């Protein structure tokens, strides 16, 4: 599925890209990166197609997805640790 078709299907499902990414617990930045590639992965295409089908049947797919209790994945390993702000020590004048 092309990224353009994906965006059209989001409109058909009446959901924005930021809300879609939040609902499926995938970073918006990750999904936006498919724009450069021109197409979305099969799993994302299937998800949005199902959302459209459920929406057309009058079913609230948001409730179904929320019941899954999805958790966003956190990057682990070297270089992915959150940087702590360094506190500056007061200078003696």
**pLDDT tens, position by position, 33-59:** 999 999 999 999 999 999 999 999 999
Task: Tell me the average pLDDT across 28-32.
Answer: 93
Rg from Cα positions in the chain: 19
Contact 40, 1 (CB under 8 A): yes
Where residue 74 falls among pLDDT bands split at 50, 70, 90?
A: confident
Residue 73 — pLDDT band, cuts 50, 70, 90? Answer: confident
Per-domain residue ranges for the chain? 3-67
Does the pTM exceed 0.85? no
The alpha carbon dihedral of 52, 58, 62, 68 has a sign of negative
Residue ranges of the alpha helices (H) in 2-86? 3-12, 17-24, 28-37, 42-56, 61-67
Tokens standing for residue 46:
């299937």
């Amino acid at each position: 599925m092309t990224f353009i078709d994906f965006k059209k299907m989001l409109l058909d499902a009446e959901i924005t890209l930021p809300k879609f990414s939040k609902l499926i617990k995938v970073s918006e930045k990750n999904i936006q990166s498919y724009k450069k590639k021109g197409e979305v992965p099969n799993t994302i295409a299937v998800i949005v197609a199902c959302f459209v089908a459920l929406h057309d049947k009058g079913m609230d797919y948001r409730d179904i997805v929320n019941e899954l209790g999805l958790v966003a994945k956190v990057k682990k390993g070297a270089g992915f640790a959150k940087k702590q702000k360094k506190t500056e020590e007061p200078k003696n004048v």
